[in-house]
Amino acid sequence: MYRLIYLTSLFLYGYVSFALASSVYDEMYAECLNEFGTINNGIVFECAGRVIDKADEDLSEKIETLRQTRLSEDFDRFLLSQRNWEQYMEIQCDMQGIYVGSPMFAYCPMEMLIKRHGDIDILLEVLDY
């Protein structure tokens, strides 16, 4: 029973964590769009690029924090998963850019980076950091 409660709370934490990360970056993206007024492909690339830079910097900090937790024993495996995730993101977003439209070349990586924050936050929570 306790395990079920723990797993449920962990699952909910992942959603809350994603929502918080998402809201910060979504707000940043929306503020950028408002700054320019009219939205076009160039503005989407500019604003998504700003968010990507910030989210990528923040993600690097979280990964470094993970290195200092008890995950350090499996850190090489984590880095492998991170490289695989980056490769998946690149291919997936390229496909979306080709078939959905060119703004997806910037918007898709932004969204996927935001979601990745939630994944990392779950590990940090489980590792009590």
Q: Are 66 and 117 in contact (CB under 8 A)?
A: no
Mean pLDDT by runs of 10 across the 129 residues of the chain is: 43 44 89 94 97 97 93 91 98 97 97 96 89
Angle between helices 75-99 and 41-67 (to 10 degrees): 170
pLDDT of residue 26: 96
Q: Are 33 and 43 in contact (CB under 8 A)?
A: yes
Rg (the chain; Cα; Å):
16
pTM score, whole prediction? 0.79
Q: Are 66 and 127 in contact (CB under 8 A)?
A: yes
pLDDT of residue 19: 47
